[in-house]
A and B are shown apart, each in its own frame.
Chain A
Amino acid sequence: MWTASTELTVLQGVAQFVSYAILAVFAENVVFSRAMGVSRLIKLVSDPDVSTWQYCIPVILVQLFSAPLGWACMTYVSPQLRLYLPEWLPIASLRPILYLTCAVIAMAVVWVLLGLLPAVHRTACREQLPLATCTCSVLGTLLLCSNQNYNLLQCIAFGFGSGLGYLFAVLVVDEGRRRLGSKDVPAIFRGLPSYLIYIGILSLAIYGLVGHGVAR
């Protein structure tokens, strides 16, 4: 039976999880606040062969499963590794390869989990899985959690929220793409320039909401 203090702790944990996830979706959105994964986003919304869900489901899952691995890497692996490294080799130079390994392990887990999906969706999602893993939004989120010294719960919440935030950005930009194809848009702005200006305006709205630049 749970005691009141346990319930409070659980509630606090849930509240913290939700708040960090919401923070990652809106205020610290990977695309609008930090421009991470924006190159792939623009290509994704312009590509008729790849649907939004086909790419975003692997991104969300990889971010979710790589977050605890990233936390373990930050908390246990890096300090241990630092003891054995020679002086001329700083631990910072190994950060990409360490966190990339976390993402690749998460990719393997997600590849297995995608087997639960129906065959049509499974194949489509698995095709996009390697590209969804080796993207700036995944590695950037892991690096950011490490820089901010988040705890395990915060890392998972922020990673999950970042994946949802990426999906949110894709949906918003995809909706804007339909409007940006209008003939009223001047010819020189069609395509990449209009996307960038549109994302810039959305980013400006987020900046106005937060009121300051986010940590990098």
Chain B
Amino acid sequence: MQNEQNRKSSKPASRPVRKKNQPEHSQTVIIPQLSPEVLERARRAAAEGKTAQQVEQEALDAAAAQTAQAAKAPQAELPRQTAQPKPSRPARKTRAEAEAELAQSIHDDHLWLNNPVMVRGLGLAPIVAMASDVDRALMLCVLSILLLTATRMLAVAVCHITGNRFRPVVYAYSAALIYIPVYILMYYIFGTDLSIMGIYLPMMVVEPVIVKRMEATELESIGEAFRRGINNTIGLCVAILLMGTLRELLAYGTVYEHPVLEVGLLPLAAQPAGGFLLLGLVAAVWTAVGGAYVHYKQEEVRHLYVDRKH
């Protein structure tokens, strides 16, 4: 009886005082999370002469704050967890997104799938008319390496200043300006051998592979111009060297003046007509292999995202 009275009398004292908008389940959350720090704060409050209700209220507030802090912690860690790759499953994206990503990666692959020469048909004049042996092909490569990226970056920088007006003239003059130190450097490297390039060396300043970007309406950033310029340069150099080697082998039976065959199998390969024919055949094989690879990748995406409608 005494115990029952004690329980009855103690009920109001032991029941925590809830705020009006305090959720009902807050007690079950708070009680197991009473830390030594919370108890210490309550002890200090009691020493300051606060009532039991005030002490409990402060303890509740402190515990609620601690719970909220604990709830925030996993959210903060979430981005780090999602940044880690999951090798077992494909990324959570739609099929359309995956196909768009594949198309973008194909577009950015200037070495193979979107080669400026073999696929997009740029830079044909110097390759067909000049890259008839490895020596000339090397000169064209050096010129492309020195000219292409620098021209693109300078032209983009000037276009940013001029408000993207007079694009073709800006691109062509940028290339012509950069050609001056490039020619001096190339003369230092190759000497009078440069004369065998004839009109095709200075003509590179208006070659579409150098100034192709002038046809596009949107203006890229300088960083993007650098990245794309490097990619285009690599793709162009690969095509030039491949054609130079092949044409020298077929026309003269040599590779970099080292005899490989007894006679040249196709002397016409040294002429522009042979260059056109040979480039057409190589481009056909190139695009066929590239197309087969693209088809395989598209089928792979289709297979991976077969259960997703969109």
Chain A stretch 4-42: residues in CB contact (< 8 A) with chain B: 32-40, 42
Distance to closest chain A CB from B116 (angstroms): 10
What is the size, in residues, of chain B's interface with A at 8 Å between Cβ atoms?
56
**In contact, B208 and A39 (Cβ under 8 angstroms):** yes
Cross-chain contact of B275 among A35, A95, A133 (Cβ < 8 A):
A35
Q: Which residue of A lies closest to B182 (CB)?
A: A93
Please report the C-alpha to C-alpha distance between residue A33 and residue B183 in the assembled complex, in whole angstroms.
Answer: 26
Q: Which residue of A lies closest to B282 (CB)?
A: A193
Which residues does B use to contact A, with CB under 8 Å? 118-119, 121-125, 128-130, 166-169, 171-173, 175-177, 179-181, 183-184, 187, 198-200, 202-203, 205-209, 211, 214-215, 268, 271-277, 279-281, 283-285, 287-288, 291
**In contact, A97 and B180 (Cβ under 8 angstroms):** yes
Main DSSP-derived SS at the A contact region: helix
Cross-chain contact of A39 among B125, B284, B287 (Cβ < 8 A):
B125
Known A-B contacts A35-B124, A35-B128, A143-B202; the reply to A100 vs B168 at CB < 8 A is no
Please report the C-alpha to C-alpha distance between residue A94 and residue B184 in the assembled complex, in whole angstroms.
Answer: 10
What is the size, in residues, of chain A's interface with B at 8 Å between Cβ atoms?
54
Main DSSP-derived SS at the B contact region: helix
Distance to closest chain B CB from A184 (angstroms): 15
Q: A38-B125, A192-B118 are in contact. List 15 more A-B contacts (CB 8 A).
A: A33-B272, A39-B125, A130-B167, A134-B171, A139-B202, A140-B203, A143-B199, A188-B285, A188-B287, A192-B119, A196-B124, A196-B283, A200-B273, A207-B272, A216-B129
Tell yes or no: A204 within 8 A of B by CB.
Answer: yes
Give the number of A-B contacts (CB < 8 Å).
166
Which residues does A use to contact B, with CB under 8 Å? 32-40, 42-43, 88-90, 92-97, 99-100, 104, 130-131, 133-136, 138-140, 143-144, 147, 188-189, 191-197, 199-201, 203-204, 206-207, 213, 215-216
Residues of A within 8 A of B207 (CB): 39, 136
Please report the C-alpha to C-alpha distance between residue A193 and residue B215 in the assembled complex, in whole angstroms.
Answer: 23
Q: Can you pick out 20 interface pairs between chain A and chain B where the beta carbons lie within 8 Å of each other?
A: A34-B129, A35-B128, A42-B121, A89-B180, A93-B181, A93-B184, A96-B203, A96-B206, A97-B179, A131-B214, A133-B168, A134-B206, A147-B199, A189-B284, A193-B280, A196-B277, A200-B276, A201-B273, A204-B274, A216-B200
